[in-house]
């Protein structure tokens, strides 16, 4: 929570004198921005050249840590000790990333598939959080030099699809770098802020943010209404970006140039140079080790066409998820260095049938938007509310392993919801609350986010305690779960920091499975529900027979016991219809007995009453 200082004498809110900075912590490049004369500005390094800090960390032999351009130079000479793309590993377990391991030039540790990944450098192990913190420290140093003042508060952006583990990891990285992270903001939201798309508060606007970076592609569909941002849909490809455009050029040269240096890093760098040159010129030509490499824009466009088609396919899917036609998109925002490629702009404009927003530097827009949001939090701008949606349902485990959804998928964030539960056993003192994320009916198919035990419930018959479970999902998508027994006020709460993250591939898979398995799940659910109900009936029948022995005939007792036995037998089986029938039979038979017992008990009670 940001604290708001109030001037005690005047009663006015004081302006925050400390600058809050905006940070784009990117996969390929990171930047820091702040507000100068009311305008967001990305800060350059001491060489005055670039605002981009390559998201690369290098560990030198003598134990120093280099970040950015200096680290990038070591990618070729010392790849083992040079870590890039660490953002891909944030909040992930080894199990989440092992299939992509060959993609990383460094060592990822696989001690336990369920715990967070670590990266081995020499004899030390680093978490992605620590490595990201090094990048953040570099950005912090950069802006502190610029301002000649210390900075301790920041807004950091993350992709819209980041789950709570990934957001939490980002926040933790900030903390490690000495930054109090006031807000985590979605990258497409930040980009829209840069273009001032929130300013037109007259009516609702729908925005597509097309972000083609170094190694990832994201398309997000946002809706802005009354200054509130809502993510309608996200789609993309986590392994498609500028690197692939470079690779296409390398492959082309390898095929068409005699003696091409196929596997050399220098050829890859030359390809990137060619790509960038072709963004503003029609032809590229250069010698490398006595060999000429050339490429025309036309040939380049031919090479990358299939890759761009893939991004447009993702746009189609995102529109479909948002239930929108391309013509319903009001504005298209271009984000990411790779959108400098003219064919990218043209393809996207053609796809949506509209000119795209591309006036701002595409590799700076996210940071600039983070700077604006920081300024808003500092109290310098009229408040802009940011709303997102949660991508997967959140709920708890109930009897029989069923998932009971408390906050459903696509709910707005922040959001709060609660529900009442009770105990299933007499005198139950503890209640375990298991928190899950996912769309399936059984918790075993969903992802466990955490659990806690509500202890010290006073002894009461089953069904009597009133236990309220509350889910509070804050603006950063971090979940707080509270349980309270309302009769005794016994309370317990946890903040869910899930143990390991969920990749968007996982997320897609879980959603797909939930659709594919819906029928099977429903059958199992019906069976479990029938079993639960039967267990309750069996318990109460047993109690009833014990308490009312005196008024039930021997024959009635035998008959009831036979029906109880039949029910027990059906519960052990898999047939929900059989269970339901056995329950009905037992209920039908015992219902008159229960009435008789009730009348008898009332009469007894009246007898004892003094008039």
The distance of closest approach from Cβ of residue 368 to Mg ion in the complex, given in angstroms and rounded to an integer, is: 12
Output Rg (C-alpha) for the chain, integer angstroms: 31
Which x/- pattern, by CB under 6 A, does the window 517-536 give for ligand ADP?
--------------------
Of 261, 214, 219, 202, nearest in space to 241 by CA: 214
Q: Which listed residue (159, 174, 188, 214) binds ligand ADP by CB under 6 A?
A: 214
- Check binding of 29 to ligand ADP (CB under 6 A): yes
Pairing state of beta strands 20-25 and 153-158?
A: parallel
Strand order in the sheet with 431-437: 402-407, 394-398, 431-437, 447-454
- Check binding of 26 to Mg ion (CB under 5 A): yes
Q: Which listed residue (110, 251, 272, 506) binds ligand ADP by CB under 6 A?
A: 272
- 144, two tokens: 């502190």
Residue partners of 70: CB distance under 8 A and separation at least 6 = 58
Catalytic entry in 164, 172, 187, 363 = 187
Q: Which of residues 25 and 586 has its CB atom nearest to Mg ion in the complex?
A: 25
Q: Which of residues 199 and 281 has its CB atom nearest to ligand ADP in the complex?
A: 281
| Number of neighbouring beta carbons within 10 Å of residue 534 | 20
Q: Which of residues 271 and 443 has its CB atom nearest to ligand ADP in the complex?
A: 271
Q: Taking contact as CB under 6 A, which single stretch among the options 3-11, 24-32, 516-524, 554-562 is the one that binds ligand ADP?
A: 24-32
- Check binding of 340 to ligand ADP (CB under 6 A): yes
Question: CA angle, 426 as apex, 420 and 430 as ends, to 5°?
Answer: 60
- Check binding of 279 to ligand ADP (CB under 6 A): yes
- 546, two tokens: 């014990």
Catalytic entry in 87, 140, 275, 576 = 87
Pairing state of beta strands 331-335 and 205-212?
A: parallel
Q: Which of residues 26 and 371 has its CB atom nearest to ligand ADP in the complex?
A: 26
The DSSP letter of residue 80 is G
Q: Which listed residue (22, 128, 213, 391) binds Mg ion by CB under 5 A?
A: 213
Q: Taking contact as CB under 6 A, which single stretch among the options 214-222, 307-315, 483-491, 579-587 is the one that binds ligand ADP?
A: 214-222
Catalytic entry in 130, 211, 237, 476 = 211
Examine residue 414 and say whether the peptide bond preceding it is cis (omega within 30 degrees of 0): yes
Q: Which of residues 212 and 433 has its CB atom nearest to Mg ion in the complex?
A: 212
Clarify whether 187 is annotated catalytic.
yes
Q: Taking contact as CB under 5 A, which single stretch among the options 141-149, 213-221, 257-265, 531-539 is the one that binds Mg ion?
A: 213-221
Residue 421's DSSP bridge partners are 467
- Check binding of 275 to ligand ADP (CB under 6 A): yes
The distance of closest approach from Cβ of residue 391 to ligand ADP in the complex, given in angstroms and rounded to an integer, is: 20
Clarify whether 273 is annotated catalytic.
no
Q: Which of residues 361 and 424 has its CB atom nearest to Mg ion in the complex?
A: 361
Q: Measure Cα distances from 114 to 95, 110, 187, 568 in Å.
A: 6, 9, 28, 39
Between helix 297-321 and helix 242-256 the angle, nearest 10°, is 140
d(CA 21, CA 139): 10
d(CA 133, CA 173): 5
Clarify whether 87 is annotated catalytic.
yes
What is 374-416 written as a DSSP string?
A: HHHHTTSS----B-EE-SS-EEEEEGGGEEEEEE-TT-EESEE
What is 36-58 written as a DSSP string?
A: ETTEEEEPP-TTSS-S-EESEEE
Q: Which listed residue (28, 186, 411, 503) binds ligand ADP by CB under 6 A?
A: 28
Pairing state of beta strands 29-36 and 20-25?
A: antiparallel
Residue partners of 353: CB distance under 8 A and separation at least 6 = 326, 327
Catalytic entry in 24, 172, 237, 521 = 24
- Check binding of 72 to ligand ADP (CB under 6 A): no
Instruction: Yes or no: say if 67 and 135 are a contact pair by the CB < 8 Å rule.
Output: yes
Q: Taking contact as CB under 6 A, which single stretch among the options 236-244, 253-261, 462-470, 543-551 is the one that binds ligand ADP?
A: 236-244
- Check binding of 341 to ligand ADP (CB under 6 A): yes
Q: Taking contact as CB under 5 A, which single stretch among the options 133-141, 207-215, 312-320, 435-443 is the one that binds Mg ion?
A: 207-215
**Total site size for ligand ADP, rule CB under 6 A:** 21
Q: Which does 363 bind (CB under 5 to 8 A by kind): ligand ADP, Mg ion, none?
A: ligand ADP
Q: Which of residues 166 and 446 has its CB atom nearest to ligand ADP in the complex?
A: 166
Q: Taking contact as CB under 5 A, which single stretch among the options 24-32, 460-468, 479-487, 595-603 is the one that binds Mg ion?
A: 24-32
Clarify whether 211 is annotated catalytic.
yes
- 152, two tokens: 């301790």
Question: Which residue ranges make up the site for Mg ion (CB under 5 A)?
Answer: 26, 213
> Which residues are annotated as catalytic?
24, 87, 187, 211
- Residues at the site binding ligand ADP, with contacts judged by CB under 6 A: 26-29, 213-216, 241-243, 272, 275-276, 279, 336-338, 340-341, 363
């Amino acid at each position: 929570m940001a604290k708001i200082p109030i001037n005690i004498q005047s009663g006015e809110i004081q302006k925050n004198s400390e600058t809050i900075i905006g940070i784009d912590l990117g996969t390929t490049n990171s930047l820091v921005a702040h507000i100068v004369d009311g305008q967001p500005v990305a800060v350059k390094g001491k060489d005055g050249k670039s605002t981009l800090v390559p998201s690369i960390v290098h560990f030198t032999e003598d134990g120093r840590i280099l970040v950015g351009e200096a680290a990038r130079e070591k990618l070729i000479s010392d790849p083992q000790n040079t870590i890039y793309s660490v953002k891909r590993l944030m909040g992930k377990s080894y199990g989440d990333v092992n299939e992509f391991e060959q993609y990383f030039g460094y060592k990822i540790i696989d001690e336990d598939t369920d715990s967070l990944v670590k990266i081995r450098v020499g004899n030390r192990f680093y978490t992605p959080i620590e490595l990201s913190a090094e990048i953040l420290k570099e950005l912090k140093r950069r802006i502190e030099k610029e301002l000649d003042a210390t900075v301790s508060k920041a807004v950091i952006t993350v992709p819209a699809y980041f789950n709570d583990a990934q957001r939490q990891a980002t926040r933790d990285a900030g903390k490690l770098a000495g930054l109090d992270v006031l807000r985590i903001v979605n990258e497409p939201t930040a980009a829209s802020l840069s273009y001032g798309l929130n300013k037109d508060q007259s009516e609702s606007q729908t925005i597509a943010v097309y972000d083609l970076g170094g190694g990832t592609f994201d398309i997000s569909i946002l809706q802005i209404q009354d200054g509130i941002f809502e993510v309608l849909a996200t789609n993309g490809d986590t392994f498609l970006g500028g690197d692939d455009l470079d690779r296409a050029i390398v492959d082309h040269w390898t095929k068409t140039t005699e003696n091409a240096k196929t596997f050399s890093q220098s050829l890859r760098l030359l390809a990137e140079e060619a790509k960038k040159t072709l963004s503003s010129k029609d032809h590229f030509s250069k010698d490398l080790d006595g060999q000429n490499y050339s490429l025309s824009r036309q040939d380049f466009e031919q090479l990358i066409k299939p890759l761009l088609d893939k991004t447009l396919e993702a746009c189609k899917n995102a529109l479909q998820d948002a239930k929108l036609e391309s013509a319903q998109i009001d504005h298209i925002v271009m984000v990411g260095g790779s959108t400098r490629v003219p064919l990218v702009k043209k393809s996207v404009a053609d796809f949506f049938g509209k000119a795209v927003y591309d006036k701002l530097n595409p590799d700076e827009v996210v940071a600039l938007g983070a700077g604006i949001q920081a300024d808003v939090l500092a109290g310098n701008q009229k408040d802009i509310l940011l709303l997102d949606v949660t991508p997967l349902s959140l709920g708890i485990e109930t009897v029989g392993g069923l998932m009971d959804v408390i906050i459903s998928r696509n709910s707005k964030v922040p959001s709060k919801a609660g529900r009442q539960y009770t105990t299933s056993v007499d005198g139950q003192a503890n209640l375990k609350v298991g928190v899950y994320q996912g769309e399936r009916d059984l918790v075993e198919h969903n992802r466990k986010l955490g659990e806690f035990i509500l202890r010290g419930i006073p002894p009461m018959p089953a069904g009597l305690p009133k236990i309220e479970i509350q889910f509070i999902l804050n603006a950063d998508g971090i979940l707080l779960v509270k349980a309270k027994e309302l009769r005794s006020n016994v309370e317990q709460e946890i903040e869910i920091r899930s143990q390991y993250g969920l990749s968007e591939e996982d997320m897609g898979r879980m959603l797909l499975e939930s659709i594919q398995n819906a029928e099977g799940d429903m059958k199992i659910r019906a069976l479990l529900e029938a079993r639960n109900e039967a267990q309750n009936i069996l318990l109460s029948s047993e109690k009833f027979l014990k308490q009312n022995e005196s008024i039930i005939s021997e024959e009635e007792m035998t008959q009831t016991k036979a029906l109880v036995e039949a029910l027990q037998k059906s519960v052990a089986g898999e047939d929900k219809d059989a269970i339901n029938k056995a329950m009905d039979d037992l209920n039908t038979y015992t219902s008159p007995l229960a009435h008789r017992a009730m009348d008898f008990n009332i009469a007894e009670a009246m007898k004892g009453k003094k008039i």
